[in-house]
Amino acid sequence: MEASLSLRRSSFSSPFHAPRRSLPHLDAPKFLPFSKSRSSKRCHLSVQMSVKSEPSADLMAPVDPSVSPRVSSLRPSKTMAITDQATALRQAGVPVIGLAAGEPDFDTPAVIAEAGINAIKQGYTRYTPNAGTLELRKAICHKLEEENGLSYSPDQILVSNGAKQCIMQAVLAVCSPGDEVLIPAPYWVSYPEMARLADATPVILPTNISDNFLLNPEFLASKINEKSRLLILCSPSNPTGSVYPKKLLEEIADIVRKHPRLLVLSDEIYEHIIYAPAKHTSFASLPGMWERTLTVNGFSKAFAMTGWRLGYLACPKHFVSACGKIQSQSTSGASSISQKAGLAALGLGYAGGEAVSVMVKAFQERRDFLVKSFRELEGVKISEPQGAFYLFIDFSSYYGSEVEGFGTIKDSESLCRFLLDKAQVALVPGDAFGDDKCIRISYAASLSTLQDAMKKIKEAMVLLRPPVAV
Ligand SMILES: Cc1ncc(COP(=O)(O)O)c(C=O)c1O
């Protein structure tokens, strides 16, 4: 018994002639090539559904497994292998300490969570405007004015499903194929891949640990050409925790302003997680930079709201509109519930008020503990982070060590594998961030967890040969 349905591309009045009765078992549809024998100029595509147990081979067109070159040019995440290994160990009952996560270990402050719950209870569960609710965009404008010295109107704000979406849309909106995106390294893993997705070319600008991983303005100047379209700055930085001092940003601005095509994406998502005396400066607040800066911020990190998926972009209207167009044809507006929660977060007061400062204090205590502990290890280089919740440590003096039963520690990935194997601590290889000399340690974990991890790391490092002089 065979049921067939034919799909006429030229006539959509009745595209499917599916049998009314239900079929007992349908094999995968078989797509037939367009029939030459059909005299009509209309193009016919026959789809046959068979209840036979074995489809006949001549009716099966092979599936084309290729994917877009846009996707195949993306580099697979180097952190995946380590993450998979950590998961496998955990499933086998090994108590792995995870210090790889890029999210706060705190709960979302209660006031914010309650605002989300109330939104649901009050039926605030429908689509919002694509750009975000007016009340939230007004609150964001107020925050940017008060805390960052930036003046925007609500139509210069786009609320998205996380800062990540803001960055992806901004890169897609401003970069044309062949444009260059300047990315200081170490960088957040997604920047170069986002540039590739936009058919632009990531141009990596290495920095040194001795300069606290901050971009050298002269080096930047030497890398700018007529294809340079976007410079991505991230301060406080993931993965290094470095914070750009205002003076250095001014020097960078002096270079940027000489190049009319060059825009700056300023990723300020870790803005509130900053340790005195470091101070955050918004790049757009520098003279002449408002017009050419796309400022990205969000709620994930400071407000411990990673799962709420809420971020925003602030920039001149023509760029916001371009990004909004992409958003309107992909995800539409962010969650209505999260937007109510975001409003409550901004209502906590300057820089998130007490709720955020409690978390920042805890992060600082953990940073101090880790910096002190790692400094006790011979041969490591550390740039003390001024913000965010990561430590990016140079372990390269240990590369080349042979470990019995493990092999050679040849790079950041093998060192992370070794530490996972011997210390049962999961970390992220620096290679993922464009610096293979280092590994990233997230201190979004309790002090006691960090103390435990540190003890195990130190015990494991003893197995490596004494480091070369650094
Ligand atoms: C530097 C940086 N920018 C942006 C994001 C994205 O954050 P969101 O959760 O808001 O998408 C992250 C998240 O890890 C990040 O580290």
- pTM, 2 dp: 0.87
| Average pLDDT of the segment spanning 94-102 | 92
Ligand 1, pocket-test mutation among 238, 240, 327, most atoms within 8 A of CB:
238
Instruction: Reply yes or no on whether the pLDDT at 32 is more than 50.
Output: no
pLDDT score at 113: 98
SS3 for 194-209, per residue? HHHHCCCEEEEEECCH
Q: Tell me how far the alpha carbon of residue 262 lies from the centroid of ligand 1, in angstroms.
A: 23
Comparing 57 with 400, the larger pLDDT belongs to 400
pLDDT score at 54: 63
Q: Tell me how far the alpha carbon of residue 438 lies from the centroid of ligand 1, in angstroms.
A: 20
Least confident of 53-57, 339-343, 435-439: 53-57
The atom of ligand 1 lying closest to the CA of 102 is 14
| Average pLDDT of the segment spanning 108-131 | 98
Instruction: Reply yes or no on whether the pLDDT at 8 is more than 80.
Output: no
Q: Tell me how far the alpha carbon of residue 136 lies from the centroid of ligand 1, in angstroms.
A: 20
| Average pLDDT of the segment spanning 178-197 | 96
Instruction: Reply yes or no on whether the pLDDT at 39 is more than 80.
Output: no
pLDDT score at 57: 64
Q: Tell me how far the alpha carbon of residue 179 lies from the centroid of ligand 1, in angstroms.
A: 23
**Mean model confidence pLDDT for the chain:** 88
Domains of the chain: 1-61 (no CATH), 75-102+354-461 (3.90.1150.10), 110-352 (3.40.640.10)
Ligand 1, pocket-test mutation among 169, 269, 428, most atoms within 8 A of CB:
269
SS3 for 32-63, per residue? CCCCCCCCCCCCEEEEEEECCCCCCHHHCCCC
| Average pLDDT of the segment spanning 176-184 | 97
Q: Per residue in 242-260, pLDDT tens? A: 999 999 999 999 999 999 9
Is any atom of ligand 1 closer than 6 Å to the C-beta of 238? yes
Contacts of 465 (CB under 8 A, 6+ apart): 398, 400, 401, 402
Binning pLDDT at 50, 70 and 90, where does residue 44 land? very low
Binning pLDDT at 50, 70 and 90, where does residue 179 land? very high
Helices (H), 350-411: 353-375
pLDDT score at 328: 98
Is any atom of ligand 1 closer than 6 Å to the C-beta of 188? yes
pLDDT score at 466: 58
Q: How far apart are CA 341 and CA 299, in angstroms?
A: 10
- Provide the percentage of residues in the chain whose pLDDT is more than 90: 79
Instruction: Reply yes or no on whether the pLDDT at 31 is more than 90.
Output: no
pLDDT score at 16: 35
Q: Per residue in 349-396, pLDDT tens? A: 999 999 999 999 999 999 999 999 999 999 999 999 999 999 999 999
| Average pLDDT of the segment spanning 261-287 | 98
Q: Per residue in 407-423, pLDDT tens? A: 999 999 999 999 999 99
Is residue 222 classed exposed, middle or buried when 0-12, 13-18 and 19+ CB atoms within 10 A define those classes?
exposed
| Average pLDDT of the segment spanning 285-297 | 98
pLDDT score at 71: 86
Is any atom of ligand 1 closer than 6 Å to the C-beta of 186? no
Q: Per residue in 210-244, pLDDT tens? A: 999 999 999 999 999 999 999 999 999 999 999 99
Binning pLDDT at 50, 70 and 90, where does residue 73 land? confident
Is any atom of ligand 1 closer than 6 Å to the C-beta of 387? no
Is any atom of ligand 1 closer than 6 Å to the C-beta of 298? yes
Binning pLDDT at 50, 70 and 90, where does residue 75 land? confident
Is any atom of ligand 1 closer than 6 Å to the C-beta of 334? no
Provide the 10 A C-beta neighbour count for residue 274.
23
Q: Tell me how far the alpha carbon of residue 167 lies from the centroid of ligand 1, in angstroms.
A: 9
Give φ, ψ of 297 to 5 degrees: -150, 175
Binning pLDDT at 50, 70 and 90, where does residue 38 land? very low
The atom of ligand 1 lying closest to the CA of 161 is 11
DSSP state of 13: S
Q: Tell me how far the alpha carbon of residue 103 lies from the centroid of ligand 1, in angstroms.
A: 9
Is any atom of ligand 1 closer than 6 Å to the C-beta of 104? no
The atom of ligand 1 lying closest to the CA of 103 is 14
Least confident of 73-82, 137-146, 290-299, 418-427: 73-82
Q: Tell me how far the alpha carbon of residue 301 lies from the centroid of ligand 1, in angstroms.
A: 8
Is any atom of ligand 1 closer than 6 Å to the C-beta of 311? yes
Ligand 1, pocket-test mutation among 103, 158, 161, 164, most atoms within 8 A of CB:
164
Is any atom of ligand 1 closer than 6 Å to the C-beta of 184? no
Helices and strands (H and E) in the chain: how many: 13, 18
The atom of ligand 1 lying closest to the CA of 164 is 11
**Dihedral sign of CA atoms 112, 113, 115, 116 in order:** positive
Is any atom of ligand 1 closer than 6 Å to the C-beta of 102? yes
Is any atom of ligand 1 closer than 6 Å to the C-beta of 444? no
Binning pLDDT at 50, 70 and 90, where does residue 10 land? very low
